[in-house]
Amino acid sequence: MNTRLKVAMLLFSVIGFSSFIVLSFVKSVDCSQLVIDTYEMHADINIPDASFINCYFDEDLNLRIAVYDLVESLDLSRFSAIPDQPIGKLLLGANLLGAGEVPTTRNVLLYADGEKWGREWTFLYDQQKDRFWAELRY
């Protein structure tokens, strides 16, 4: 087989596989796969290991929200004081959370938000409990 043909086939394979991986992250919507990785890629943030994870997806609202009890503290460089708004306005999926999962103590919460690839994300972090909420809106 011609060397140029081999190189072209290898290059095509690498590009195809890379595209598949990137699109898998970008198109991951519900709670079935790549949940933490999707949040990390959208927000350019590293989410440490968690001892507890719960994820909820609402197809009608086009949003996914997850709550994590982190094993390590989160890097707070992208976080700031929580805006003076009700939790339900900051986390649109707060009503999907289970009993005991809704953030309540505003004075210890930190906030980060942004948008990437046409999707808005919001993070809340409770420094005292190392509890982390992540919401992604599609």
- Encode pLDDT of 11-62 as tens digits: 666 665 555 444 444 445 557 655 677 888 878 888 999 998 899 999 999 9
Q: Contact 67/73 with Cβ under 8 angstroms? A: no
Q: Contact 61/129 with Cβ under 8 angstroms? A: no
Beta-bridge partner residues of 111: 80, 124
- Encode pLDDT of 52-85 as tens digits: 889 999 999 999 999 999 999 889 999 999 988 8
**Which has the minimum average pLDDT: 32-36, 114-118, 133-137?**
32-36
Q: Which helix (H) or strand (E) holds 20?
A: helix 3-26
**Distance of alpha carbon 101 from alpha carbon 122, whole angstroms:** 16
